[in-house]
């Protein structure tokens, strides 16, 4: 506590210490509740002052674009360029998603973000038995280079940056994308975008895996190595807290597990013989923006500070770009309600504003109808317009890190940093991230938080409008027009695959698959082999089958 704060201004009406006076008034008053906490159920004080935010400005905050980047990764932030408005989209066939992409670009969206269906996410072709009923449902079905070509048809790949939410089979989909660019006449050096490629959080939270952790991590270092040389503008991993949070974690757990995963990738890259500064600048991050406005802003700021300190001081990175947390944000799907769904527009707006005030590099805003189905064009348009409204009307983008110096926001930033550091130590004590996945510890921690939150909602300690307060009798009737996926998507996709298998050079495809098998058994870079296999029209499922045969199938630990 500073001297100034301790004494405080002298009251003209009382000789009592003003702080003590205020505390007495607060203690005597009737309050709305006995306890106040964040949505993560971290206790909150009624008031924050200098004592709660003891900062050394240069050490803890610094300047935008400078270590430790608490105030943002670019010197100009949104005065230079606004965040990338990137709506996650994908459904049905490649052609349908291509049309949605063009619709979004036409509305002023500035980057693409691809959602794949579950068969694609799990490395199965659309005609596999496990794919029955799932093709094109939660994302687009991409089983081959030709599907990727249909997806990107008429979209200039040298100009648009594309994010692909794919993990287990990420190297294969990236190979399709690189090969697709080559067929469009685009040099891989010009391609810009991101593959999520974050397998650790798949085992922890999102659960779309292909092979067990160790070979999966080897494929990730192969991607980092290949791209450092040949696709230098590509973000090789988007280290994601989003799914951890959506699975039920607290804000502090999201922050801690995500950054712990990030550090594990750095260790693996270094262990594979890469120089940290050759790949760390291409690591990017992806966070949730939940409904607790200040806790989220503090989380984004803490993420930057923690990573910068770890990378510089523990991993010895010299390139300032290695120290930076550049991140994408998505508003929190779990906060959307099926009841009174139009209210979701408002929730999303608050969450988007938190992401912007937290300094995000790109943003997806959820649509109001997503507790029922994939969004309609109208719902997506409102979600995108929400971002444009923040950018163009509110004037919040004019001042960098505007909440810095708020005692509360700084105290929360430091609190989240301290909780993350404690969790890193706990993970270390338990043998590291992979050991914590194998034992199910991280999964159990996330589940425990999900249960605690659900209890708080059911006890009405945490309120959700339309769900446990301000309910309406018909609040959960579906009043919206929904987006439906036609069953013909699956039959058409099966027919296209059968046709591709007939047309292609079968002997060449088989040779490429055997070359992948050989590479699995050696140290040859697998991504290089996948690109060659893509050009030979090997399908996703065929390549993934070789990987499953060579590396085995992952079995999740029983946690319940």
Partner 1 sequence: MSTRRIRVLIGKPGLDGHDRGAKIVATALRDAGMEVVYTGLHQTPEMIAEVAVQEDVDVVGLSILSGAHLSLFPRVRKELLARDMGHVVLTGGGIIPAEDVASLEQQGYAKLFGPGTRTEDIATWIQAEMQRRWSDEGAAR
3-state secondary structure 69-83: CCCCCCCCHHHCCCC
**CB nearer to partner 1: pick between 172 and 297:** 172
Closest CA to 404 of 308, 297, 320: 297
Q: Distance between CA atoms of 130 and 146, rounded to whole angstroms?
A: 22
Among 115, 208, 255, 356, binds partner 1 (CB under 8 A): 208
Q: Report angle CA 175, 177, 182 to the nearest 5 degrees.
A: 95
Residue 309 CB neighbours (<10 A) = 17
Site for partner 1 in 97-156 (CB under 8 A): 118-119, 121-122, 124, 130-134, 137-138
Binds partner 1 (CB under 8 A): choice among 337, 348, 362, 413: 337
Taking the least distance from each CB to partner 1, the nearer of 231 and 373 is 373
Report the site for partner 1 in 7-66 (rule: CB under 8 A): none
Strand partners, 92: 140
Q: Output the smallest distance, CB 256 to partner 1, in A.
A: 19
Site string for partner 1, 240-269 (x = CB under 8 A): ------xxx---------------------
> What are the backbone angles phi and psi of residue 538, rounded to the nearest 5°?
-65, 145
With beta carbons less than 8 A apart as the criterion, state whether 283 and 237 touch.
Answer: yes
Identify which range of 56-64, 179-187, 464-472, 505-513 contacts partner 1 by CB under 8 A. Answer: 464-472
Structure tokens at 320: 């300032």
Among 76, 478, 488, 549, binds partner 1 (CB under 8 A): 478
* Closer by beta carbon to partner 1, 247 or else 382: 247
Stretch touching partner 1 by CB under 8 A, among 147-155, 219-227, 463-471, 527-535: 463-471
- The stretch among 41-49, 53-61, 401-409, 475-483 that binds partner 1 (CB under 8 A) is 475-483
User: How many angstroms separate the Cα of 12 from the Cα of each of 2, 9, 25?
Assistant: 22, 9, 17
Name which of 84 and 443 has its Cβ closer to partner 1. Answer: 443
Which among 413, 340, 421, 352 is positioned nearest to 384, based on CA atoms? 352
DSSP for residue 342 = T
Of the pair 481, 505, the CB lying nearest partner 1 is at 481
Using the structure block, give the residue that is written with the tokens 């791209």: 227
Q: DSSP letter at 325? A: -
**Bridge partners, residue 163, by sequence:** 113, 194
Cα of 24 vs its chain's centroid, Å = 44
The piece of 44-52, 58-66, 414-422, 451-459 that touches partner 1 (CB under 8 A) is: 451-459
Between 412 and 492, CB nearer to partner 1: 492
Give whole-number Cα distances, 156 to 101, 143, 195, 209, 315, in Å. 12, 21, 18, 31, 38
| Cα Rg of the chain (Å, integer) | 24
Mask for 391-430, x = binds partner 1 (CB under 8 A) = ----------------------------------------
Q: Rule CB under 8 A: is residue 454 a binding residue for partner 1?
A: yes
Q: Does 375 bind partner 1 (CB under 8 A)?
A: no
If binding is defined by CB under 8 A, does position 488 make contact with partner 1? no
CB of 32 to partner 1, least distance (A): 23
Count how many residues are written for the chain.
560
For position 212 contacting partner 1 by CB under 8 A, the verdict is: no
Site for partner 1 in 266-325 (CB under 8 A): none
The answer to the question of residue 476 lying near partner 1 (CB under 8 A) is: yes
First to last CA, the chain: 46
Least distance (Å) from partner 1 to the CB of residue 478? 4
Residues in contact with partner 1, total (CB under 8 A)?
A: 45
d(CA 14, CA 25): 14
Window 531 to 560, contacts with partner 1 (CB under 8 A): 556, 558-560
Among 374, 384, 397, 433, binds partner 1 (CB under 8 A): 374
The span of 170-178, 287-295, 366-374, 523-531 binding partner 1 (CB under 8 A) equals 366-374
Tell me if 165 contacts partner 1 by CB under 8 A: no
Three-state SS sequence of 128-197:
CHHHCCCCCCCCECCCCHHHHHHHCCCCCCCCCCEEEECCCCHHHHHHHHHHHHHHCCCCHHHCCEEECC
Query: Where do we find the tokens 């950018």?
Result: 391
Please report the sign of the dihedral spanned by the C-alpha atoms of residue 499, residue 503, residue 509, residue 510: positive
User: Does 172 interact with partner 1 (rule: CB under 8 A)?
Assistant: no
Closest approach of partner 1 to the CB of residue 383, in Å: 17
For 381, the 3-state DSSP assignment is helix
Q: Quick one: which H or E segment has residue 235?
A: strand 234-235
Least Å from the CB of residue 97 to partner 1:
15
* Out of 20, 214, 425, 451, the residue judged to bind partner 1 by CB under 8 A: 451
* Footprint on this chain of partner 1 (rule: CB under 8 A): 118-119, 121-122, 124, 130-134, 137-138, 202, 206-208, 246-248, 334, 336-339, 371-374, 447, 450-451, 454, 458, 464, 466-467, 476-478, 482, 485, 556, 558-560
């Amino acid at each position: 506590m500073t001297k100034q704060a301790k004494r405080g201004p002298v009251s003209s009406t009382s000789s009592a210490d003003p702080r003590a006076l205020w505390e007495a008034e607060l203690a005597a008053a009737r309050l709305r509740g006995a306890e106040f906490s964040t949505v993560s159920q971290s206790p909150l004080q009624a008031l924050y002052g200098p004592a709660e935010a003891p900062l050394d400005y240069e050490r803890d905050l610094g300047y935008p674009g400078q270590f430790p980047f608490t105030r943002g990764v670019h010197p100009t932030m949104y005065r230079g360029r606004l965040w990338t408005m990137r709506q996650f989209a994908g459904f049905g066939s490649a052609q349908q998603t291509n049309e949605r992409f063009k619709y979004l670009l036409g509305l002023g969206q500035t980057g693409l973000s691809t959602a794949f269906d579950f068969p694609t996410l799990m490395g199965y072709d659309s005609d596999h038995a496990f794919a029955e009923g799932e093709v094109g449902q939660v994302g687009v079905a991409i089983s081959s280079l030709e599907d990727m070509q249909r997806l990107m048809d008429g979209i200039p790949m040298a100009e648009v940056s594309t994010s692909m939410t794919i993990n287990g089979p990420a190297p294969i989909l990236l190979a399709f994308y690189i090969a697709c660019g080559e067929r469009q006449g685009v040099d891989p050096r010009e391609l810009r975008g991101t593959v999520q490629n974050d397998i650790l959080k798949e085992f922890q939270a999102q659960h779309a895996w292909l092979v067990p952790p160790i070979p999966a991590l080897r494929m990730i270092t192969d991607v980092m190595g290949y791209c450092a040389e040949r696709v230098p503008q590509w973000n090789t991993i988007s280290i994601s807290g989003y799914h951890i949070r959506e699975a039920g974690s607290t804000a502090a757990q999201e922050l801690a597990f995500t950054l712990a995963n990030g550090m594990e990738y750095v260790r693996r890259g270094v262990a594979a013989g890469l120089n940290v500064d050759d790949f760390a600048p291409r690591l990017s991050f992806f966070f949730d923006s939940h409904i607790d406005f200040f806790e989220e802003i503090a989380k984004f700021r803490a993420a930057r500070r923690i990573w910068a300190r770890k990378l510089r001081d523990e991993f010895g990175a010299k390139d300032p770009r290695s120290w930076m947390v550049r991140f994408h944000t998505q508003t929190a799907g779990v906060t959307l309600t099926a009841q009174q769904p139009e209210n979701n527009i408002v929730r999303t707006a608050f969450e988007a504003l938190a992401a912007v005030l937290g300094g995000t590099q790109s943003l997806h805003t959820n649509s109001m109808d997503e507790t029922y189905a994939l969004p309609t064009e109208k719902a997506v348009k409102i979600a995108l317009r929400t971002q444009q409204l923040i950018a163009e009307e509110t004037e919040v983008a004019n001042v960098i890190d505007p909440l810095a110096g708020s005692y509360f926001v700084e105290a929360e930033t430091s609190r989240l940093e301290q909780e993350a550091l404690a969790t890193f130590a706990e993970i270390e004590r338990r043998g590291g991230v992979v050991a914590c996945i194998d034992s199910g510890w991280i999964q159990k921690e996330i589940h425990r938080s999900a249960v605690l939150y659900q209890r708080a909602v059911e006890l009405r300690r945490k309120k959700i409008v339309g769900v446990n307060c301000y309910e309406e009798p018909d609040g959960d009737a579906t009043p919206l027009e929904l987006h439906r996926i036609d069953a013909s998507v699956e039959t058409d996709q099966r027919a296209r695959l059968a046709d591709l298998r007939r047309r292609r050079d079968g002997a060449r495809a088989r040779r490429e698959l055997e070359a992948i098998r050989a590479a699995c058994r050696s140290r040859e870079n697998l991504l290089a082999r996948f690109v060659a296999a893509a050009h030979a029209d090997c399908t996703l499922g065929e390549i993934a089958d070789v990987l499953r045969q060579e590396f085995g199938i992952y079995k999740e630990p029983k946690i319940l």
